[in-house]
Amino acid sequence: MKNILLIDDEQDMLDSLHKLLSRKPQYKLSMTTDGKRALELVASKKYDLIITDLKMNEVSGMDILQKALNTFPDSTVIMISGYGTIDTSVKAMREGAFDFIEKPFTSKKLFDTVNRAFSQNMDKATLSEKGLSQKKDSFGIIYQSKQMEELLNLVRKIASGNMNILVTGESGTGKELIARAIHKLSKRSLNPFVPVNCGALPENLFESELFGHERGAFTGAIKTKPGLLEFADHGTFFLDEIGDLSLAMQIKLLRMLEERKIRRVGGQKEISIDVRIIAATNKDLKKAVAEKQFREDLFYRLNAMEINILPLRERPDDILPIAKHFLAEFCCQNEGAMIRFSPEAEKALKNHPWNGNVRELQNMVNRAFYLCSNSVIQRTDLPIPMERENAFFEDDIINLSYKNAKESLLEKFEVEYLTHHIKQNAGNISRTAESCGLDRRSIHRLINKYNIIYEE
């Protein structure tokens, strides 16, 4: 049972929070509209989670945060903030709040934030018991691999600038998480991060959503509505699936990038806009440019810096940390049931190709959580074909003589292993040798032996 304290001086908001969270029988809810009483409660008892409004009459959310952390330093506090208090909310996070939820919010946003808070607490408890760290977590990005470490180092270097950024990678690799990390590390972090999916809205509505519209601009426009770009002013505007943007909208977006001004649909006045654009795509935009499906001038405007996220199958060290993170989240959502993977299940997870990347991994862990009959997820609980684990013996190798089978497998291993590391190190032989634990002479010998082609 999770003890949650709800604090807000508006009874309607408290009732709404209580109604939503009471859907989960594992949550024991307490609530108060009295700020002074709230201070007494957080000082007398350690709650699993405190959710408080930031702006109240007698006592502020900052007062609640400070009292909770002074009494119980590992307290978890989520702030609820209105439009005009985002700056203060960010300050609260710097002083120890877990996160803030901006009004108005959806039930999904509330539960996602609460689940992340409980997941973090469970991870901390587990790692504390074991006395070690099993994963790295930066801005919600779970990783252990050298490739992701290098990518995040690049993010930290470029975040403070103002250049537009193109994030590329297969679907499900976490492109929006990278965009949010860039925003949080940038000088714009106190201003809004506004995401929009270019393929989610019909073209006739997309322009109105981006640029806004004036009253009477079209049927149904009963009042003036600012666009998302105006809301993102001085912040970051994230255009997901930019490759799905129509040619007509590409022209209008290009004009905005060049002039830094927009005009609402049906309006005459030009409005100055200061936003940083981060675009993302799982498509080959260079190919789209060559096929006249994407404007070349817009491509170069967006691609001042490209960040490519490798698919999960090319960074296998991240698979188990991410899977265990998702499993901890599902445990939190289900009364804290402690479930783990068996060694055979872990092996199957690492060997799977993950064509759907992190999204596929999350879905599979979720399914396995509900399928397992005890506290351990077994190999049979994972919907992974058994033959994947025997892929090592392809091409009838098993039917060859011992000597020939061994030579064939060794050649396959050396070619694939070396090609992978050369690619990861962009053809640099010195770095390849270092990552493989070999000397340069050995690397060159293997390259010549198998006629491996590379570019340095």
Q: For residue 398, name the pLDDT band (cuts at 50, 70, 90).
A: low
Q: Is 68 a domain residue?
A: yes
Q: Which residue has the higher pLDDT, 394 or 340?
A: 340
Average pLDDT over residues 7-36: 90
Question: Within this chain, do residues 387 and 414 fall inside the same structural domain, yes or no?
Answer: no
Measured distance CA(318)–CA(323) in Å, rounded: 9
In whole angstroms, give the CA distance from residue 384 to residue 387.
9
When pLDDT is cut at 50, 70 and 90, the band that residue 386 belongs to is: low
Which range marks the domain in which residue 186 is found?
145-308
Q: Is residue 136 part of a domain?
A: no
Sign for the CA dihedral angle at 316, 319, 320, 325 comes to positive
Q: Which of 370, 328, 312, 315 is nearest to 134 (CA)?
A: 328
Q: Which stretches does DSSP call E strand in 103-189?
A: 136-138, 141-143, 165-168
Residue 52 lies in a domain: yes
Among the candidates 130, 164, 191, a domain finishes at: 130
Mean pLDDT score across all residues of the chain: 84
pLDDT bucket at 293, cuts 50 / 70 / 90? very high
Work out how many domains the chain is built from and give that number.
4
pLDDT digits (tens, 9 = 90+) for 81-95: 875 555 566 667 767
Residues 398 and 377 in one domain: no
* Residue 226 shares a structural domain with residue 284: yes
| Residues in CB range of 384: below 8 A, 6 or more apart | 348, 349, 351, 352, 364
DSSP string, 337-357: ---EE-HHHHHHHHHS--TTH
Query: Could you tell me if residue 456 is inside a domain?
Result: no
**Residue 91, token pair as written in the block:** 């300050």
List pLDDT tens digits, range 33-47. Answer: 998 999 999 989 889
Verify that 407 and 352 share a domain, yes or no. Answer: no
Determine how β-strand 77-81 pairs with β-strand 49-53: parallel
Percent of all residues in the chain with a pLDDT value above 70, rounded to a whole number = 88
**Is the pLDDT reported for residue 1 higher than 90?**
no
The model's pLDDT over 47-100, given as tens digits with 9 standing for 90+, comes to 999 999 988 888 888 899 989 988 888 789 998 887 555 556 666 776 778 888
Considering the domain architecture, whether residues 377 and 414 belong to the same structural domain is answered as no
Residue 455 lies in a domain: no
Residues 224 and 173 in one domain: yes
Domain shared by 10 and 104, yes or no: yes
pLDDT tens per residue across span 170-207: 999 999 999 999 999 999 988 889 999 988 777 778 88
Structural domain includes residue 139: no
Secondary structure (DSSP) of 214-263: -TTSSTT--S-EE-HHHHTTTSEEEEETGGG--HHHHHHHHHHHHH-EEE
- Whether 388 has a pLDDT exceeding 50, the answer reads no
- pLDDT for res 131: 35
Look at residues 278, 308, 338 and tell me which one is the last residue of a structural domain: 308
Whether 322 is covered by a domain: the verdict is yes
Per the structure block, which two tokens stand in for 33?
């509209």
420-442: pLDDT as tens digits: 888 888 888 888 888 888 898 88
Show the beta-strand stretches assigned E in 273-371: 276-281, 305-308, 340-341
Last residue of a domain, one of 375, 391, 407: 391
Tokens standing for residue 61: 């959310």
Alpha carbons within 13 angstroms on the beta-carbon side of residue 15 total: 3
Bridge partners of residue 271, in order along the sequence: 262
Q: Which of 137, 181, 152, 175 is nearest to 328 (CA)?
A: 137
Predicted confidence band of residue 292 (pLDDT cuts 50, 70, 90): very high
Indicate which CATH number applies to the domain containing 14: 3.40.50.2300
Q: What is the pLDDT of residue 301?
A: 94
Residue 325 vs residue 136, higher pLDDT: 325
Residues 103 and 190 in one domain: no
Note the pLDDT of residue 306: 94
Residue 138 lies in a domain: no
CATH number for the domain that contains residue 365: 1.10.8.60
Residue 259 shares a structural domain with residue 356: no
214 close to 224: Cβ distance less than 8 angstroms: yes
Rounded Cα distance between 415 and 354, Å, is 22
Q: What's the Cα-to-Cα distance from 234 to each of 178, 193, 240, 276, rounded to whole Å?
A: 19, 10, 19, 8
Share of the chain above pLDDT 90, in %: 37
The CB-based long-range contact list for 38-42 (8 Å cut-off, 24+ gap) reads: 38/5, 38/7, 38/64, 39/63, 39/64, 39/67, 41/5, 42/5, 42/67, 42/68, 42/71, 42/72, 42/75
pLDDT at 390 over 90: no
Model confidence over 194-203: pLDDT tens digits?
Answer: 999 988 777 7
Residues 399 and 376 in one domain: no
Residues 158, 208, single domain; the answer is: yes
| Rounded-to-integer distance, Cα 239 and Cα 288, Å | 17
Q: How far apart are CA 179 and CA 155, in angstroms?
A: 9
Residue 300 to residue 165: CA distance in whole angstroms: 10
Looking at residue 339, its pLDDT comes to 84
pLDDT in tens, 256-289: 999 999 888 888 888 999 999 999 999 999 999 9
- How sure is the predictor about 374, in pLDDT bands with cuts at 50, 70 and 90? confident
CATH number at residue 407: 1.10.10
Task: Name the more confident of 363 and 449.
Answer: 363
pTM over 0.85: no
**290 and 177, same structural domain?**
yes
- In the chain, what's the furthest Cα-to-Cα distance? 83
Is a pLDDT exceeding 50 seen at residue 126?
Answer: no
